[in-house]
Amino acid sequence: MRENYSFMDHNEFFQKLLATYRDSYNIEENFRVGNNIYDAYAFLDVSTSRYVLVKKAEIWRTDCYEHVFITHREQIVPDDIYLWEDQVASDIEPRLVRGGEATMPKDHMSSFVTGVFITNGPVDVDTANAVRDVRFYKNYKMSLRGYCQARAVLIDLKYRRVYGNRAAHDMVKDLRKSMRSLK
């Protein structure tokens, strides 16, 4: 049997997580997508470029984006994950990532749509599998205009466990480290 840590509830962890995002992301709480309201939406826009002597002589430019949707509840169930995954394909990618356009702008390199689900736990096997099975990948103009990928992470505060899909591998590693350091 796993040890029960239960060091903080989902509300406290949500506030700590938002504090880490505030430095770099634009955050909007109680964000509506379709009929669903997420506890927070965080947006990051990173642009990198190289130029010669003056900015008008730009050699190259890349634009990268991340859209983070955070949900925290006493208990997360598989339907919460399935709803978010469906909304990524039907609402989030077409409206927020592409802005209603047919494709991404010229200098776009990558966009991540990240779902963070926080629960007091425990997490059942079906919910953990729902997170692991999240798949969304779309390239634009044969990847000449970049790609969009969905990442999903589920945080079980009761047992200090972090689950994620394959695209969220690095996030899961970082969150596991931070979970060990929290008291």
Confidence of residue 1 (pLDDT cuts 50, 70, 90): very low
Is residue 149 included in any domain, yes or no? yes
Structure tokens at 95: 């409206």
Domain limits at 28? 10-181
Question: What pLDDT shows up at residue 7?
Answer: 65
Across 103-127, b (16+ Cβ under 10 Å) vs e yields ebeebbbbbbbbbbbbbbbebeeeb
Q: Which of residues 121 and 161 earns the better pLDDT score? A: 161
How far is residue 105's CA from residue 46's CA, in Å, rounded to a whole number? Answer: 14
Question: Is 53 within the bounds of a domain?
Answer: yes
- Asked if the model's pLDDT at residue 170 lies above 60, the reply is yes
φ, ψ of residue 29 to 5 degrees: the values are -90, 155
The answer to whether residue 2 sits within a structural domain is no
**Residue 4 within a domain:** no
In this prediction, residue 53 carries a pLDDT of 66
* Residue 178 CB-half CA count within 13 A: 14
Mean pLDDT score across all residues of the chain: 89
Whether residue 3 lies inside any domain: the answer is no
End-to-end Cα distance, the chain: 21
- CA–CA separation, 82 and 42 (whole Å): 20
CB 57 within 8 A of CB 27: no
Top-confidence residue, 11 or 87: 87
69 found inside a domain? yes
H/E stretch holding 46: strand 36-51
Range with the poorest average pLDDT among 58-67, 69-78, 87-96: 58-67
- Residue 1 maps to a domain: no
Average pLDDT rounded to a whole number, residues 86-99: 95
- Contact, 136 vs 149, CB < 8 A? yes
Kindly state the tokens that stand for 120.
């007091």
Note the pLDDT tens digit of each residue in 26-66.
999 999 999 999 999 999 988 776 777 676 665 666 789 99
pLDDT band, very low/low/confident/very high, at 14 (cuts 50, 70, 90): very high
DSSP 168: G
Q: What is the pLDDT of residues 122-158, one digit of tens each?
A: 999 999 999 999 999 999 988 888 899 999 999 999 9
What pLDDT score was predicted for residue 61?
Answer: 65
Does 123 reside within a domain? yes
Q: Number of folded domains in the chain?
A: 1
Instruction: Of 140, 43, 33, 143, give the one whose Cα is nearest residue 92.
Output: 33
pLDDT of 22 above 50: yes
Query: What pLDDT, on the 0 to 100 scale, is given for residue 143?
Result: 80
